[in-house]
Structure 1
Amino acid sequence: MTSIMPVFNGAAYIGAAIESLCQQTRPPVQIVVVDDGSTDDSAARALAAGKELVTLIRQPNRGYHAARNAGLAAAQGDVIHYFDADDIAPPHALEAMIGALSANPGWDAVFGCWRNFWIDALAAERDADANRHLVGVQRGLVLMAALFRRTLLDRMPPFPESGGWAEGPLWTAELVRSGANLGRIGDVVLERRIHHDNDSRKKTLDGLIDLAFKLRKASRASTTKTDGAANS
C-alpha cells in the first residue's frame, strides 16, 4: 500500500499528516511525497516525520493534480491511498479500508467517511454559517477517504493537469461513469483540517461553477456520442 501526498508550502501541517500515517495500525509501506515547488521547508519536515517510509519527489509548481500523477508513477504498492498534507488519518483508517478490500475481492475501490474540524479560529468564525452542514461525519466519494486498487487506476485516465480545483470531482465523476465496483464502509477514515490556507476552500465557489459547466459539457458529449452510435 502506497500513500501519495502532494504538498505546496505545507510545512505547518505536513509533519502531523505523515505521523498519522506512520502511526496507523496498518501503515503504508511507502509514502510518496511530491513537493510541488514549495518555498518553505515542507520537504525537510516530511523526511523528518516519515523517515524511511518517505519517497520524496521534487518538481516545479504544476498543481495538485500533476503532483498526484507524478506520485502514482513512483508508487510501488498495488493499493493506492491519496492524502493531503494538511489532513489527519485516524489510527485504524487504513486497516479498515484494506480489510474491506481484502474481504471483497470484487471491489475496485473502497470509500469511507470523513469529518472536518477547524484549526484556525478566524476560519471557523467565517465559515460557521455557510458550512454548518460540514460539521460531523460526512459520507460521499471523497478522493482522500478511499483506497484504490492499482489495477483500477491503471485503467483510468490521469488527473487533468490543466484545470484547477474542479478537476478532482470531475475525475471522480469519470470514475463512477467507468463502471468500477466501488464499495463503502461506515468507518471515519479521514479528518480534514479546515484552515485559512486551504487551497480548495479558497476556490470552492469558482470550482463548483467550473465543475458544473464541465459536467454539463461531458454530459452533452456523452449524449452526442450515444445518439451518433444509435444512428449509425
Structure 2
Amino acid sequence: MRNVHFSVVVPLYNKAEHIVRTLASLQAQSFQPLEIVVVNDGSTDQGSDLVAALGDPRIKMVHQPNGGVARARNTGIAHAQGNWIAFLDADDWLHPDYLQTLAQLILTHPQLDMVATQYKSMPYEAGVTLQPWFVDVDSAAVELIQDLPQRWMRGTSFFTSSVAVRASRLQALQPCFPPGESFGEDLDLWFRLAETSAIALSTAALVGRVLVPGSLSVVHVARTEPPFLLRMAERARSPRMAPALRRSSLQLVNYHRLTLARAAISAGDRLLARQLLWRARQSLFSQRWWFTAIMATLLPGPLVYRWQHWRKLRKVALG
C-alpha cells in the first residue's frame, strides 16, 4: 500500500472540547496518514493551542479568518500533499482500522475516485474516552455504488468523515465545497463526483459520528430549497447525464423536498409545506408524498415533530 498517501483535512472551529480526542483516533490508525491538515477557521477558543501542543510533525496547521466549514475544507484541499484526501470533522472519531480499510478499497478498485465506509452514530458524553468497537473488517462486504441518488434514498451509508477522494479529482473541482453554504454543501460534492465515478463502500462501520447534546432537537426549516438541490435538478436536465441517473437524481430532489415539507409541518409552517409538496408533485404516486400530504392536512405540528424526533433517536440507538 506504499502508493496510497492520505492527507486528512480537519476543519477546526471552536471544538477545543473534542479536537484532542478526535486527533488521537487519527494518530492511532493502523495505516498512518501522510499528513493531517488542520484548518483553524477563526476559532476563539483554545483548540488550535491544544493541537500545537500535541507536537506531531505530521500536523500542518493552517489559520484563516472564519469563513465556514466549506471554505475551511477547500483550504485544506489546497494545502494537501497526499494523492488521496480524507475528511474528518473535529468532533468525530475513527476506528483504528479506518484508513487501512480505505487503502485496501483503493488498491482493489484502482479505477475509482471515491471510497468510503459506513459509520455509526453515538451520543457525546463529556469526559468519556471513546474505545474501539468490535468490527469484523475481514468479513465486511464491499458495495459498488453506481447510482448514488438511488442508493441514498434507501438510507444514508456514509458521511463526510467516512469518505476519501482522489486528490487530483478534488483539485480539478476547486472550490469543491460551495463557499458560504452549510446545508448540503458536502452532499453537493459527493453527488457531483458520483456522476462520473462509482463509489466503493465498505459495509464496516469504522467511523463514529458523534452527536453533541441538543443536536437532535434542532429543526431546520429552509425557506427556499437548498442550493445543492437546485443544482442537482439543473444537472439532471442536461442531455449529458445518463437517463437512469437523471431519473434517480430527480427522484432524490423530490425526496428531499418532502423531507423539508415535514420539517416545515413540525415548525408549524403549513403554507411552506404545501408549497414543497407542489414542487415535489412528480412524486404524486409515491407513498411518501401521500403520507406527507396527510401530515400537512390532518396532523398537528407537535405530533409530527415528536414522530420525527423519535425516528432520529431510534437511528442513534441502532447505531
- Do structure 1's residue 100 and structure 2's residue 101 form an aligned pair? no
Q: Which residue of 2 aligns with 1:17?
A: 22
TM-score between the two structures when normalised by the length of structure 2: 0.59
Amino acid across the alignment from 2:173: M
Contact 2:185–2:228 (CA under 8 A) maintained in structure 1 = no
Question: Is the partner of 1:226 in helix, strand or coil?
Answer: coil
What are the Cα deviations for residues 204-226 of structure 1, in whole angstroms up to 9, with x where unaligned? 6246x76x543552244335543
RMSD over equivalenced CA pairs, Å: 2.5
Q: Which residue of 1 aligns with 2:204?
A: 187
Q: For the structure 1 residues 206 and 51, does the alpha-carbon distance in structure 2 shift closer, same or farther, using more than 3 Å as the test?
A: farther
Q: Distance in 1 between matches of 2:78 and 2:85?
A: 11
Amino acid across the alignment from 2:119: W
Contact 1:112–1:187 (CA under 8 A) maintained in structure 2 = yes
Out of 214, 221, 229, which is 2:234 matched to? 221
Out of 172, 176, 179, which is 2:190 matched to? 172
Contact 1:141–1:172 (CA under 8 A) maintained in structure 2 = no
Contact 2:118–2:203 (CA under 8 A) maintained in structure 1 = yes
Amino acid across the alignment from 2:164: L
Q: Which residue of 1 aligns with 2:213?
A: 196
What are the Cα deviations for residues 154-197 of structure 1, in whole angstroms up to 9, with x where unaligned? 333421102222222222222222x1231111222210111137
Q: Which residue of 2 aligns with 1:129?
A: none
What are the Cα deviations for residues 105-134 of structure 1, in whole angstroms up to 9, with x where unaligned? 11211110000110249xxxxxxxxxxxxx
Q: Which residue of 2 aligns with 1:205?
A: 220
- Do structure 1's residue 154 and structure 2's residue 167 form an aligned pair? no
Corresponding residue pairs, total: 206
Q: Distance in 1 between matches of 2:55 and 2:86?
A: 16
Q: Distance in 2 between matches of 1:29 and 1:86?
A: 21
Q: Distance in 1 between matches of 2:101 and 2:173?
A: 24
Q: Distance in 2 between matches of 1:191 and 1:91?
A: 11
Give the drift of 1:140: 1.8
Out of 50, 53, 69, which is 1:48 matched to? 53
Out of 34, 39, 44, which is 1:34 matched to? 39
Amino acid across the alignment from 1:205: H
Matches within 5 A, 1:119-158: 119-120=124-125, 140-157=157-174, 158=176
Contact 1:19–1:50 (CA under 8 A) maintained in structure 2 = no
- Give the strand-richer structure, 1 or 2: 1
Amino acid across the alignment from 2:231: A
- Do structure 1's residue 109 and structure 2's residue 111 form an aligned pair? no
Structure 1 unpaired stretches of 5+: 122-137, 228-232
Give the drift of 1:49: 3.2
Contact 2:123–2:213 (CA under 8 A) maintained in structure 1 = no
Q: Percent identity?
A: 24
Q: Which residue of 1 aligns with 2:87?
A: 82
Q: Distance in 2 between matches of 1:220 and 1:147?
A: 25
Give the drift of 1:147: 1.5
Between structure 1 and structure 2, the one with the greater Rg is 2
Q: For the structure 1 residues 64 and 50, does the alpha-carbon distance in structure 2 shift closer, same or farther, using more than 3 Å as the test?
A: farther
Q: Which has the higher contact order (CA 8 A, sep 6+)?
A: 1
Q: Distance in 1 between matches of 2:48 and 2:62?
A: 9
Structure 2 unpaired stretches of 5+: 1-5, 127-154, 241-319
Contact 1:18–1:49 (CA under 8 A) maintained in structure 2 = no
What are the Cα deviations for residues 56-100 of structure 1, in whole angstroms up to 9, with x where unaligned? 011110000100000011111011110000011001000011111
- Do structure 1's residue 68 and structure 2's residue 73 form an aligned pair? yes
- Runs (4 or more) in structure 1 with deviation over 6 Å come to 201-204
Structure 1 stretch displaced more, 142-151 or 83-92: 142-151
Contact 2:119–2:158 (CA under 8 A) maintained in structure 1 = no
Amino acid across the alignment from 2:118: C
